[in-house]
Structure 1
Amino acid sequence: MSIRHGLLALLERGPMYGYQLRAAFEESTGTTWPLNIGQVYTTLSRLERDGLIRPLPENDGGQRPYEITDPGRSELAEWFATPISRTDRPRDELAIKLALALTTPGVDVRAVVQTQRTATMRALQEYTRLKSRETDVADLPWRLVLDAMIFQAEAEIRWLDHCEASVMRYPPATPNPSSAKPTLAATPPRWIRRIPNTAR
């Protein structure tokens, strides 16, 4: 979810100013995505520049609210109707970290896996604790975000278990520095060549 479209969705509810938008955004995502107020106003400036929102007169408190325009509604409707592509999501830093750990001399890959598993387990326990609280229908948006985080943490733990089993079954070969021949355009390792360009 981009901040751009998140703010458009909030403005579809009605005019708001920067601090209201930040509070509504964090409330809608269960405070799992904290926003800097600077990010909010920078995004508002770009949305205004693109004609997707327009400023309204300042209120009594000196705050300037914004409202969504018809082009803004069209872009928001298109965003809701378009699936999120895997290539549009952030790169998986953990997968890259473990891949590099396998080829970096002196790194204990199993220790890296265990450290990450411990941290992910703690996060999963915290998410589960939050979910166990009594809630009402009004809390459904943030509960769905929380469910997504729980599922992602569970999947990450399963993947880390798989990584550890694979490392034990197929320990990486120790590189021999003396046999390496430096070149200006070295051929990338086979595992890198298999990754689509959009994932790098």
Structure 2
Amino acid sequence: MSVKYGILTLLSVKPHHGYELKIELDSLLGLKGKINPGQIYTTLDRLTRDGFVVSPGMDEQERKLYDIEWKGKEELNKWLLEPVAYNNTKEDFFFKWSCAREINSALEKKMLTQQKQLIVKEVMELTKLKTELLIQGDENRYLLVTGTLLHLEADLNWINQVENRVL
């Protein structure tokens, strides 16, 4: 996740002050986590320096506002159109599993079992969250959770195939 592009996204909707950006970025991140407030201001400084963002002044509570410049909109649109590569071979578990196979580790079966248990636990928690989001009408987070569940299902299927072939 790029804080830079999250900020440009939010500023393309309307001017914001730093704390508003932090709150809304946390919401955009959904399940991924929280943004450090210092990272917001550092990124805003760089965006201002690079001509992507400008400060039109203060709001009624004396908080510095930021707005997107035309150059920032162009940068955001360029980024939105860049495809995102999916590289599951670089994910932590797949790397760890490959290392275990490389050294013919006796721990491989236990690793796979533990990973499956973790995935099943996550699936149960996310399924509950998905239902809650549907009831709340939070379409964006509902779709995000749905996508995450599909990835977890694929990971479970992969582990089952590995177990059936090698163990």
Bin the TM-score by the shorter chain. 0.7 to 0.9
Q: Distance in 2 between matches of 1:112 and 1:85?
A: 27
TM-score normalised by L of structure 2 = 0.87
Indicate whether 1:96 and 2:117 are aligned.
no
CA contact (8 A) 2:22 2:37 kept: yes
SS of the counterpart of 2:57?
coil
Amino acid across the alignment from 2:136: T
Per-residue CA distance 1:77-121 (angstroms, 9 max, x = gap): 12222322336x993111111000112365410111111111111
Identity %: 27
Q: Distance in 2 between matches of 1:90 and 1:159?
A: 12
Q: Which moved more, 1:36-45 or 1:101-110?
A: 101-110
Query: Normalized per residue, which structure has more helix?
Result: 2
Query: Normalized per residue, which structure has more strand?
Result: 2
Report the Cα offset of residue 31 of structure 1: 4.4
Q: Which residue of 2 aligns with 1:135?
A: 136
Question: Which protein shows a greater Rg?
Answer: 1
CA contact (8 A) 2:54 2:68 kept: yes
Q: Distance in 2 between matches of 1:154 and 1:80?
A: 27
CA contact (8 A) 1:110 1:167 kept: no
Report the Cα offset of residue 27 of structure 1: 1.8
Per-residue CA distance 1:29-81 (angstroms, 9 max, x = gap): 43433211122222222212211111232334342121100000011112222
- Structure 1: gaps (5+ residues): 169-200
Report the Cα offset of residue 162 of structure 1: 1.7
| Closer/same/farther in 2, CA of residues 82 and 106 from structure 1, 3 Å limit | closer
- Structure 2: gaps (5+ residues): none
Task: Kindly tell me the number of residue pairs found equivalent between the two proteins.
Answer: 165
